Structure 1
Amino acid sequence: MKHLLHRPAEDAGRIDVVYLWVNGADPVWLRKRHRAYTAWTRQNGEELAAFGNVAGRYRDNSELLFNLRALELFFPDHGHVYIVTDGQTPAWLRPSSQVTLVDHRQLLPCASPEVFDSGHIESYLHHIPGLSERFIYLNDDVFFGQQVNPAWWFEDRIKVFLEPASTAHPEALHPGETALVNASIESGRWLTERYPHYRHLPQVYSHTPRAMRKSLMHELEHLAQDWFAQVRSTVFRSWRIPPIVPDLAPRWMVQMGYAEQQVLNPLYINTGDAQAGREFDTLLQNFGNLPFFCINDTCDEAAGDDPRLLRIAQTLEKLLPDPSSFEWAGDQRMAA
């Protein structure tokens, strides 16, 4: 397994893949999270964003294992894989020159070693040493579902995706709104102040693979220094400080002509919803013909043996039964 200090050389033609991953059941990590949350709430009162510290945000339902199987199946020519973690290693992950574990302590400044807000962490992804200019960032619950055409994602302009429908959003940030809605509100304010001809679309951006260019994120970081600084001050997600990568980054790229926007309604499964069973059936029927799909753990504080959660790995095992080159074989895994 490569670690951050042993990294591949730059390759302009390569498209690397970056994941965030955490094992929320790790007792050492759990104690750290509870200790940090107790300290954070003393100073931050009612700042926690909606669903900002529920177990479902951190739970590992084996999504990354199957995500790498899907990556190898549908995008075999991908570049280097970076897995950004909080000092953890998946038990099934086989050491390989093709994957690098990036510890938070190596990527984030020493002033913020304990961070449980993905918006904070992902604001540093373009600083990963050795990362290719073009890269795709995925949460581990967002999967490729058919063959990937890199030219479609990157050539001409980067593809970004809005959800098809919008609901009435408040005009100001609100503690009861999701991070994506608050991010849309703040993005609209920021872009309107800087670009007189900017016209804000009220839809939020879909949960999709995020095609990105490292140089563009450095450019945006320079322009939005204050917002980046605020995001990098968080420990847990605050409703007053929306994340940058899910909304401002694609809107700004579209405004500057770096990206083109498409309205898309990808398969998005909320595991806690009543219709989740039908959506899993849709996934089973259409796998191989979906550009991508998301399985979002919205069971929040459910027990790990909840049938709604077990269905995630059971379904993915049916779709992706063959181990990837990133995994130990069964007997090797036991030995490891």
Structure 2
Amino acid sequence: MKTSAPRRQKNAAQIDIVYLWVNGADPVWLNKRQRAYAAWAQKNPQQLAVFGNVAGRYRDNSELLFSLRALELFFPDHGHVYLVTDGQKPAWLRPSSGLTVVDHRSLLAPGSAPVFDSGHIESCLHHIPGLSERFFYLNDDVFFGQKVDPEWWFGERLKVFMEPSSTRHPDTLTPQATALVNASIQSGQWLAQRFPGYRHRAQVYSHAPRAMRKSLMHELERLAPDWFAQVRSTVFRSWRIPPIISDLAPRWMVQAGYAEQQVLNPLFISTGAPQAAQQFDTLLAHFGQLPFFCINDTCDEADEDDPRLLRIAHTLQKLLPQPSSFEYVDEACVAA
């Protein structure tokens, strides 16, 4: 399923953009998710990862609309945009030669069941037809916050960002740990087996735009075929099968000399946290001076009209009032 006309020819310097997006309120999609989870949970009891099926994981708070506005404001020379979805598209999305909607089914193995684990989908992104060698991968709740310098992000080595605080890790995967912690544990074990002297840092990676090289992801897939196959067997996220892109990919790129690791404390807004209001105030005060920021929906099963959720679009409309070229103008402020 596509919304674009034929794309212009690629050039070696082009940096494409890949987003994952879903509209969790769509009744057709919601019914599909509910039926799929009932069947999956029956076959996989006690396997669901922490927060693996909460509404907040799939809820659309208009983040994508504003992330695209931020993209055009801070990185106007970006390449083609790929929007990876589950047979959906936003009502406000205007057909554009600069954007292609990619259905999950075109990336999954033929005959695959519907997938509700983003870790599964993101493991396939480097197989998007026509994707440039260099690309940014963003979840729709991640935003550029200042002018993008492509050479700083990509340069001689890619930039990856680790959070400053250490995380207490158990020795093995556990159902109580978050997907990021379990991914860190498994990454450490995998890298220690392949790199003598490898020393693991018990920290997780920031919610950030991910600077990627398509050829490196193909190389990692060749090196870790069993892990990729496991991730691509998931329907919902299982604590026994951590994602690859959020931890193993950046750690391996650093270890192999393909990436440079920085410890960074970016603005991470947790909408369900007691300090969320202060975090939004920080965003309003420092917008334009932040390399990137994330607004993570941690309200889980809150109602759609919960004030904590309405604050997201209200704040972003103040910061990014100018519609992007990807919007129908008469619907540009529908979320305000």
Q: TM-score range by the shorter chain?
A: over 0.9
Call closer, same or farther: CA 1:224–1:324 in 2, change over 3 Å.
Answer: same
Partner residue of 2:23?
Answer: 23
Partner residue of 1:256?
Answer: 256
Checking the alignment, whether the CA contact within 8 Å between 2:4 and 2:95 is kept in structure 1 is no
List gaps (5 residues or longer) in structure 2: none
RMSD: 1.6
Pair 1:130-2:127 in alignment: no
Counting only pairs closer than 5 Å after superposition, residues 1-336 of structure 1 correspond to structure 2 as 2=2, 6=6, 9-330=9-330
Q: Percent identity?
A: 75
Checking the alignment, whether the CA contact within 8 Å between 1:56 and 1:298 is kept in structure 2 is yes
1:333 Cα shift? 10
Deviations 1:225-270 (A, max 9, x none): 0000000000000000000000000000001000000000000000
Distance 1:202 1:65 in 2: 34
Give 2:127's aligned amino acid: H
Checking the alignment, whether the CA contact within 8 Å between 1:54 and 1:301 is kept in structure 2 is yes
Call closer, same or farther: CA 1:147–1:333 in 2, change over 3 Å.
Answer: closer
Give 2:84's aligned amino acid: V
1:168 Cα shift? 1.5
SS in 1 for 2:291: strand
Checking the alignment, whether the CA contact within 8 Å between 1:119 and 1:243 is kept in structure 2 is yes
Checking the alignment, whether the CA contact within 8 Å between 1:221 and 1:228 is kept in structure 2 is yes
Checking the alignment, whether the CA contact within 8 Å between 2:3 and 2:95 is kept in structure 1 is no
Call closer, same or farther: CA 1:287–1:2 in 2, change over 3 Å.
Answer: same
1:198 Cα shift? 1.2
1:110 Cα shift? 1.9
Checking the alignment, whether the CA contact within 8 Å between 1:8 and 1:130 is kept in structure 2 is no
Q: How many residues align?
A: 334
Give 1:294's aligned amino acid: C
Checking the alignment, whether the CA contact within 8 Å between 1:17 and 1:79 is kept in structure 2 is yes
Distance 1:172 1:5 in 2: 49
Call closer, same or farther: CA 1:85–1:188 in 2, change over 3 Å.
Answer: same
Distance 2:257 2:57 in 1: 33
Distance 2:57 2:250 in 1: 23
Distance 2:158 2:216 in 1: 11
Call closer, same or farther: CA 1:333–1:227 in 2, change over 3 Å.
Answer: same
1:10 Cα shift? 3.9
SS in 1 for 2:144: strand
SS in 2 for 1:101: strand
List gaps (5 residues or longer) in structure 1: none
Checking the alignment, whether the CA contact within 8 Å between 2:141 and 2:294 is kept in structure 1 is yes
Distance 1:317 1:113 in 2: 37
Give 2:168's aligned amino acid: A
